[in-house]
Amino acid sequence: MTFTRRKFIKTSMAAGAVAASPFYINRALAESQELRIYAWAGYITDEMLNDFREKTGINATFTPYGTNDELMNSLRATDGSGFDIIMPTVDRVPGYVDFELVQALDTSRINWDGALESAIEGSEVGGVVDGKRYFAPSDWGTEAIAYHTDYSSIDRSNLSYGDLWNPDHGTGVTVRGHSALIGIGLWLEQQGRLPFPLLDMFQTEAAARANFDEILKVAVEHKGMIAQFWNTENEAQGAFRTNGAVAGQTWDSTAFNLIQEGLPIAYAAPKEGALAWMEGFVIPKNAQNVDAVYEFINWYYTPEAGAMFVKATGYNSTSRGAEALLPQATKDFFTNSYTEQDLANLWWWPIQEPWYVSIRNEYQDRYLSA
């Protein structure tokens, strides 16, 4: 990417509140119909919807999805209709543009002063296609190792993705199919056991298939240790709550929410690097209430709205000043989960173009059905 990841993390943590007034444009038009939000499950709470309505006069409805693939399939089925705003990860945005499912943003209508500059710069790769910006960054997070402190054999002092497959975990491991393959790939790459550098998999089909062939062998060899595969946040949490998982490769929000429930769970980044991603606001091609979309983005780019999002999800908002308003428990989770070295070593998802996603899903299916 074209910016310094360390700079992004530091500015995310250090940015203070900024007295910036959101832009409210064509409010009368925006209020004339509902804003239809299609976002990740758990991302939009009643508190947020009520605050948005109080601040703007606009009613909004929220429909949840669980995966990027579910979002893509929904939009392809309706040719970009049905919703006014979506929240894909930035690495998937070029695919939406290729399928002509989304529209470019009118950047003049967005209060960019309310967003972290580093997030704006960092989302240029993927979020800007052919000179047009399609993506307004909303949040970022990671996928790394969550583990039960009472039962797992995890030693975070030299943690690796390979440590998930320690026989001591028995049948107590939970992973998501396609990202588990990448975690195993990072482990194998560090040992010099891949035919191509891992990042080459996102550039050519030959490299993707050659690497996935080696990764799949190792994944299937250890498949008997899986307590549950997860695909959504609720499934990942359920693996620990009720299905016997003691360690897993999960999102940071999984560990955060389980810790808030009082479970003895910890979260740590492997030495190969926690998988990092950024999400943001995108407008479908046939959105009906575009004026309200800009109202929503500008509402979100306030410290108060950003803090509501973080409290609901455990992820990190790109709203400038949100960090200062967070509960101490949320701040503690961040500092307990990441060292400075971890933050400097994040492994950011490259752009996942449709051809790669197709191959990735093919190998995921082979893994799940093995």
The CA distance from 318 to 137, in Å, is 7
Q: Which spans in the chain are helix H?
A: 5-14, 27-31, 46-56, 68-78, 93-98, 117-122, 124-127, 177-190, 205-221, 233-241, 252-260, 290-300, 303-313, 328-337, 340-344, 354-369
User: Domain 5-135+282-338 is in which class?
Assistant: alpha beta
Q: Which residues contact 310 (CB under 8 A, 6 or more apart)?
A: 139, 316, 317, 322, 323, 326, 330
What pLDDT shows up at residue 11? 52
Distance of CA 179 to the CA centre of its chain: 12
Q: Any idea where the domains of the chain sit in the sequence? A: 5-135+282-338, 143-274
What pLDDT shows up at residue 368? 98
Domains 5-135+282-338 and 143-274 share a fold: yes
Q: For 122-154, b where at least 16 C-beta lie within 10 A, e where not — what string?
A: bbebbbbbeeebbbbbbbbbbbbbbbbeebbeb
Q: What is the CATH number of domain 143-274?
A: 3.40.190.10
How do the pLDDT tens digits run along the chain, 370 residues long?
333 444 455 455 544 444 444 454 566 666 678 999 999 999 999 999 999 999 999 999 999 999 999 999 999 999 999 999 999 999 999 999 999 999 999 999 999 999 999 899 999 999 999 999 999 999 999 999 999 999 998 999 999 999 999 999 999 999 999 999 999 999 999 999 999 999 999 999 999 999 999 999 999 999 999 999 999 999 999 999 999 999 999 999 999 999 999 999 999 999 999 999 999 999 999 999 999 999 999 999 999 999 999 999 889 999 999 999 999 989 999 999 999 999 999 999 999 999 999 999 999 999 999 9
What pLDDT shows up at residue 6? 42
pTM, 2 dp? 0.85
Residue 240: both structure tokens together: 């620990």
Three-state SS at 257: helix
Q: Which residues contact 137 (CB under 8 A, 6 or more apart)?
A: 90, 115, 116, 119, 120, 122, 123, 127, 278, 279, 280, 318
The CA distance from 348 to 44, in Å, is 25
What pLDDT shows up at residue 39? 98
